Structure 1
Amino acid sequence: MEVKASTKFARISPFKLRLPIGEVKGKSAEQALTTLKFMPLKAAGIIHKTLESAVANAAHNNELDVDKLIVKNIIVDQGPSLKRFRARARGRASRILKRTSHLTVIVAQID
């Protein structure tokens, strides 16, 4: 059985959020949480929080055994961008895109 948890509108670009995904995909939930906890990236903290939520959803809503959960998939999609500007020379302006991300973590129980 699969259980999901998602974080919407995270204020980090999808590219940066995808960096630590390869380290935790396919591992047990407990091992993935430990790995993410000690990574020095902002993205690791966001993924850690969402993974904790997925594990809690599995334990509380679906009554699955937490020790048998694995990280099946992590999906990062691009959210809307906040559009800002920066003043430049001669009265001009240049555009700054502050990107957001949507994160979905899927955990599954192995038998």
Structure 2
Amino acid sequence: MQIAIDGFWTTKAGDYDPQKSLSTPVSDNRFFYRINHDATSRQKVIVEIMVDTTLVGEVHEWLSSDGKETLFFDVPSQLRKPGSHTLFFRIFSPVSEAADAKKGTQIYESEHFVLDYTG
């Protein structure tokens, strides 16, 4: 299966505009991203969202047959400090399809994106 996350953006989920580097005020906490994939059947994945070395979100998501899942994450206030931060995503297959399934094999890691918070 092919998987890609091309970047992230602010504003609204429907305003698809993936950026590899984004400069934004520290007041911005919500960001969006899209998983592009070629899954032909419904498949569950677990997404880790990392800022620097801190896990800021873990999302259990079903991949649909349209090839795109648009999701969001919030950066906690203690990480919203002025300066450059590294953002990346890891995708895992779950050990089962249960709602509370644990992570299985890592199937994807995105490139490292830049989140630059301004004062």
Asked whether the two chains share a fold, i.e. TM above 0.5, the reply is no
More strand by share: 2
Tell me the TM-score normalized by structure 2.
0.29
User: Larger relative contact order (C-alpha < 8 A, sep ≥ 6)?
Assistant: 1
TM-score, with length taken from structure 1: 0.31
Higher helix share: 1
